[in-house]
Structure 1
Amino acid sequence: MPKINVYLPDELADAVRATGLSVSPICQRALEHAVRQANAIQAAVTQDLDGGEPALARFTDRARSAVRLAIEQAREAGEPNVSTARLLAGLLAEGGNLALQVLGALEIAPEQLTAALAGAPSAEPEQGPDSALRFSGPAARALELTVAEVGMLGHNYVGCEHLLLGLVAEPGGAGGEVLRAAGAEPKLTRRAVAAALVGYNYLRASQGTTPPSAGQLTSLLQQQLQQQLQPLVARIESLEARLGD
């Protein structure tokens, strides 16, 4: 049987040893699940979109809606494929998702991205073997990266916030270029998503069954991001002071 090395952080490795858990079967089950999910998304992103919506397993209603809007926009515009620019436009058009709150916390307005998308190429390469509407190569990779982000965060669903991370991480498409140019750097965006999910759960718990408002979540996110960025800002200021001496 082939052997694959698994590296763990020191604290996690110590905790595993303390509990006496057997790592091998746990890793096998986790990898089997990840492989099934990867195969499912790969099949979905290569299918003919003229024949219906892709089978996006575990996507939330809002995430499905964002992808559906992207497909509809590409179809109405007569474009040869659904690009990363269209996926981002679909995310913006959905209008009520957590990804927009994350962008707001990063001080990136939807109007800013919409204006940037207006000047971005709407079609991308790798259209497929025929003239049927499909995801472009970069859009397919962005969706695959979306699912990878879900695995890294340990979630059991695929939301708009994960789609945002997939677009930011995809290097070749216009959608990611527009996001990064606006300031959505991958590492910072991932931290903002993690903070948003913690903040949402905190506000939801403190308010009972009432969902937190967009303003409350954005305010909490901005506070958390400022706390995370404060040490970095202090280090930059220190380096600038040394260079000025």
Structure 2
Amino acid sequence: MPKINVYLPDELAEQVKDVGVPVSAVCQRALEQAVKRIAAVRAVRLDDPDSLELAARTSRVTDRVRAVLRLATERARAAGTTEVGTGHLLGGVLDEGGNLAVRVLQVLEVEPGRVAAALPAGTGGGAVPTAFGADAAAALELSVVEAVTLGHNYVGCEHLLLGVLAEPDGAGGEVLRGLGVEPRAARNAVAAALAGYAHLHANAAAAPDPTAVVTAVVQRELRPLVERLERLERG
């Protein structure tokens, strides 16, 4: 049976040894799930609703991500392109508007309006795109990886944002990085935001403003990171 090396941070490696986690079995199961979900993304044909629905179920994307994919397809059609790119995916996230990815951008002090203005403009209508471009397909695959890495059994808009940001060649990631969005800070913001939602659900009766609660928790979780960066910049 072929071997695949798995590299772990020192602290995690020690914890795995102490607890006696069956690394091979755990990794095999995780890889099986990741392969299945990524293969479903690669098989999508955007002009076939059944294909998109099957991929959505297999990859466990949320309803908001499904909406984003439809909106991204509309953006690509309006731009007259035959494929959906990461710029269209990012635009779809902004068009959907009510998702966690938009909140994360705001917490990182990147206004969605600035992101929208930096995206390439459309050139006119065209036929419905049939497939994801190489950059968008890679971003969707990276979204699955981000979800698995964070221990989540679903793919949300927050994971899609991280996937677009991590993909090196597409317009979406280029726009985000150009506006100062860094992968590590974005990932920390996503984790903190999800912690904020957990806190919110645990204290729903005393939380009249959900957005304020989430923002406050995220900013609290990110404060040590921001302070360290500021100290490094000051030398």
TM interval, shorter chain, is 0.7 to 0.9
Paired position in structure 2 for 1:151: 148
Matched length: 226
Residue 133 of structure 1 pairs with residue 135 of structure 2 = no
Deviations 1:15-50 (A, max 9, x none): 333333432222222222222222222222xx2x22
Greater Cα shift, 214-223 or 89-98: 214-223
Greater Cα shift, 83-92 or 24-33: 24-33
Equivalent position to 2:93, from 91, 94, 117: 91
Displacement of 1:75 after TM fit? 2.2
Letter in 1 for 2:130: L
Residue 202 of structure 1 pairs with residue 204 of structure 2 = no
Paired position in structure 1 for 2:160: 163
Equivalent position to 1:71, from 65, 68, 73: 73
Gaps (5+ residues) in structure 1?
Answer: 124-130, 240-245
Displacement of 1:216 after TM fit? 2.5
Paired position in structure 2 for 1:11: 11
Letter in 2 for 1:66: V
Displacement of 1:76 after TM fit? 3.8
Contact kept, 8 Å, 2:200 with 2:210, in 1: the verdict is no
* 2: CA distance, partners of 1:221 / 1:15: 27
Gaps (5+ residues) in structure 2?
Answer: none
Letter in 1 for 2:156: G
Letter in 2 for 1:13: A
Paired position in structure 1 for 2:64: 62
Paired position in structure 2 for 1:38: 38
Structure 1 runs (4+) greater than 4 angstroms displaced: 208-212
- Alpha carbons of structure 1 residues 16 and 227: separation in structure 2 relative to 1, 3 Å: closer
Identity of aligned residues (%): 51
Measured on the aligned residues, the alpha-carbon RMSD in Å equals 2.3
Secondary structure at 2:43's aligned position in 1? helix
TM-score when normalising by structure 2: 0.86
* 1: CA distance, partners of 2:107 / 2:151: 23
**Which structure has the larger Rg over C-alpha atoms?**
1
TM-score when normalising by structure 1: 0.83
Contact kept, 8 Å, 2:86 with 2:172, in 1: the verdict is yes
Contact kept, 8 Å, 1:192 with 1:221, in 2: the verdict is yes
